[in-house]
Structure 1
Amino acid sequence: MNNENDILIEDLRKKIGMLIQKHESVLAELKKLKSENLELKDSVSLKENKLNELETKINTIKLANTVFASAEEKKEAKTRINRIVREIDKCIALLNK
């Protein structure tokens, strides 16, 4: 009976050791993921700031084109601006994945 208890105790010790190792591994992974998450949030914030800056420039260009440009130039500028905005939207979508 004593030998069986010793075997059970040793088995429990091994399992506890394995659980401790898994726990430490999970904690390390969690720490890594939290760090990566913070980096991604910072990156998104920078991209959002850049987006706001570009949107301000776009609005300024639109206003300037309205005042000074011919109809054809206005159409070309609007097309370019729309293309740029779509590219920015794609970049933001990629960052949010």
Structure 2
Amino acid sequence: MAEKSVIINIENRIRQLVDDHKRLSELCVELTAQRESLKAENRTLQERIRELDGELSRKELTEGLAGGGHNREKARARVNRLMREVDKCIALLGRPE
């Protein structure tokens, strides 16, 4: 009789393990889908941040060129940086290969 109870106990534990495995596998699939969804949302938000940063830079440059005090220095520095970059490009184009 004791052997039967041990076997029944082992069978119950195996059933419990199989059920736990199924439940955890389903949970894993759900969490993987949720993770992918969050990654896509994150990429979208990161792109939106880049767009807004660019827009902010353009607005600051516009305000600076229009005569805004604080933004004027930033605008002047940015224009100078862009001019140096253009000069470098022109110099590279003029170099013989």
TMscore range, shorter length: 0.5 to 0.7
Q: CA deviation at 1:71?
A: 3.5
- Aligned identity (percent) is 14
Alignment length, in residue pairs? 72
Q: Whole-Å Cα distance in 1 between the matches of residues 64 and 51 of structure 2?
A: 20
Quote the residue 1:17 is aligned against. Answer: 15
Quote the residue 2:38 is aligned against. Answer: 40
TM-score (norm 1): 0.66
Alignment equivalent of 1:28, drawn from 26, 29, 44: 26
Partner AA of 1:45 in structure 2: R
- Give the unaligned 5+ runs of structure 2: 72-97
CA-to-aligned-CA distance 1:34-86 (integer Å, 9 cap, x gap): 111111111110000000001111111111111114449x5xxxxxxxxxxxx
Partner AA of 1:37 in structure 2: R
Runs of 4+ aligned structure 1 residues displaced above 2 Å come to 69-72
- Give the unaligned 5+ runs of structure 1: 75-97
RMSD: 1.8
TM-score (norm 2): 0.66
Q: Whole-Å Cα distance in 2 between the matches of residues 55 and 71 of structure 1?
A: 20
Q: CA deviation at 1:8?
A: 1.0
CA-to-aligned-CA distance 1:8-34 (integer Å, 9 cap, x gap): 111110110011111111111111111
Q: Whole-Å Cα distance in 2 between the matches of residues 33 and 52 of structure 1?
A: 28
Partner AA of 2:30 in structure 1: K
Q: Whole-Å Cα distance in 2 between the matches of residues 20 and 61 of structure 1?
A: 61
